[in-house]
Structure 1
Amino acid sequence: MNNPSRRRFLAVTCATAAAVSAGPTFAKVGNTRTLRMRNLHTGERLNTAFWSGGGFDSSGLKKFNRLLRDHRANEETRIDPKLFELVYKLKEKLGYDGEIEIISGYRSPKTNAMLRSRSSGVAKRSYHTRGMAMDLRMPGIPLSKVRQAALELKLGGVGYYPKSNFVHVDTGPVRRW
């Protein structure tokens, strides 16, 4: 056992076995996750990665923060990166490769209060004001299917607004309305 070549052989063999058995994990670590979105209020489009090299991509996240800003107040906030994971998993579950239309992302407290004064459907402590919610639709996918897929993911709140033609998703507790 003190033979250096035998120890080297065992080390290489063990390392190779570990790498082979962990192959799929290595494949997942290096993948890139991209979202294509269009903000319906500003007309801005973005097709960029929010995840690359095994972690969240800070440059991509900054671009998404800008896209999802409160367009009324022109205010940005840090959008919860888990929200992009949720939306990515939703599009994957639906087999959707198109552009995701954004109705609402971040809302400043002032904008949220204004919208709340006009509609009973706006929550006082909306997850939009915390950068944890998005109202969206996926053209070509029935809204009811988007809702059902979001519910099945069980990754946060899901609101269904068929009259307004969008689904709300957030990274808060799992719930539905």
Structure 2
Amino acid sequence: MVTEKNSQPTLSRRSFLLASTQIVLGLGAVSAPSLACAKALDRRALSFFHTRTQQELRITYAAGKTYDRKALAQINRFLRDYQTGQVHVIDPKLLDILWAVQGEMGRRGVYEVISGYRSPKTNRSLRKGHPGVASHSLHMKGKAVDIRFSGGNLSQIYQCALAMQSGGIGYYPNDGFVHLDSGQFRTW
């Protein structure tokens, strides 16, 4: 939003289109800047429950522009390949996407993780039974997670992520999860 000399707020075309889309989608205050501003404004925390390992993690992973290395290491371990136990670095941008989506949904809830990092071996195994699993999945780079959120339904997660237009968003209502990644914006 731009304020002119007479202090009357005016919207840029982009801001107007974003706000209009949000109103149509029923998302109210969801905004792309919420992700961009995250690094400058808040302590960022996430709560997880891993559906495969039955483990829980509640953690503050960053404050302002600074990421907590110990917290990131805990998240890396938590989101490890559930079949092989292999740990991989998880992209902090993916965590910020999760944080922003959770914020738009009221920050009341826990991410239920179906799949975080996947080793190439696990990814190949999953591809055999599910043809929709990508051969070069961003799960293998620590840049993707398949989730549900106890504070909202799958459609709400999808709509919030879609409005932010940050990373990839896969909607799997029949399988009971949403895929989020920190790659280029795209949907399926």
Structure 2 length as normaliser, TM-score?
Answer: 0.77
2:87 corresponds to: 76
* d(CA) in 1 for partners of 2:41, 2:148: 29
Alignment partners' CA distance in 2, 1:135 and 1:156 = 13
Q: 1:56 to 1:123 in 2, by over 3 A?
A: same
Q: Aligned match of 1:34 in 27, 45, 49?
A: 45
Percent of aligned pairs with the same residue?
41
Q: 1:153 aligns with which of 132, 145, 164?
A: 164
Q: 1:30 to 1:86 in 2, by over 3 A?
A: closer
Cα distance in structure 2, aligned partners of 1:30 and 1:92 = 13
Query: Number of residues paired by the alignment?
Result: 150
> What does residue 122 of structure 2 align with?
111
Aligned-residue Cα RMSD (Å) equals: 1.3
**Structure of larger gyration radius:** 1
Please list every run of 5 or more consecutive structure 2 residues that lacks an aligned counterpart in the other structure. Answer: 1-38
Counterpart Cα distance in 1 of 2:161 and 2:66: 23
Counterpart code for 1:37: F
Aligned-partner SS, 1:167: strand
Q: Summarize deviations over 1:101-120 as a string: whole Å, max 9, x none.
A: 00000000000000001111
Q: For residues 92-141 of structure 1, what are the alpha-carbon distances to aligned partners after superposition, in whole Å with 9 as ceiling and x for unaligned?
A: 01113211100000000000000001111100000000000000011241
TM-score by length of 1: 0.81
Offset from partner CA, 1:65-92 (integer Å, 9 cap, x none): 0110001000000000100000000000
